[in-house]
Amino acid sequence: MCTLSGLLYTWRMPRDLKPPFKFDIGKILDRARKLPVSIDGVTITLPFVEVTLKPDDLERKVAREVVIRLADRRVLNAWECCDGCIDDALKSLQEIRQTIVEKQVELSSKADGVLFLLLDSIRDVIRQFLTFEQRLTERSSESRQLYFAALEMLRAHIHRSLLQISKIADMEIPGISAQMRYDGNWQLEAYQKPPLLP
């Protein structure tokens, strides 16, 4: 919701926008393929890859904190309709990046683990989104539509990554309203397809 000229304005972003670019998560996928697998444990999916692992107490603790902190971020809980809303979303993304870096520092002894990898995937696609957003020269109607389409892909990636992190945390994602949630199926057309496995 936003107030434009004193009127309360609600706009819902369509979810079927064509991705204006593709996220490059090739390095993340390469690392995921090298993770040690477990027969029993938690199954984590990323676009094009799935791994089963056994998180330890530190990973569960950090995962719980990430789920709680990220679920409260504005960019995952509100639609954008104007330049002020766009600025708020960009600020919220920077806050998410800051939280992720702090949690990765906490996980530095587990840098080869799946939680660290999931956090890296969020951090990396935020960076790619911000680079795309900065290349939009001005906030014209056309560039605003490209921005909204890219933000929709980013939101979907963050939410689906958060769903995977919540498996490690062994808890539900709190606070995100139903209309702002995504199913667990990765939008593969939003990602560069990785080369075939050897």
| Rounded Cα gap, residues 26 and 153, in angstroms | 17
Closest CA to 180 of 8, 2, 12: 12
* Average pLDDT value over all residues in the chain: 82
Sign of the alpha-carbon torsion through 161, 85, 132, 126: negative
| Percent of the chain predicted with pLDDT > 90 | 38
- Indicate if the pLDDT at residue 1 is higher than 60: no
Report yes or no: 182 and 156 within 8 Å, Cβ to Cβ.
Answer: yes
Least confidently predicted of 41-45, 63-67, 98-102, 140-144: 140-144
**pTM to 2 decimals?**
0.84
Q: How far is CA 54 from CA 29, 36, 127, 167, in A?
A: 19, 10, 29, 11
3: pLDDT strictly greater than 50: no
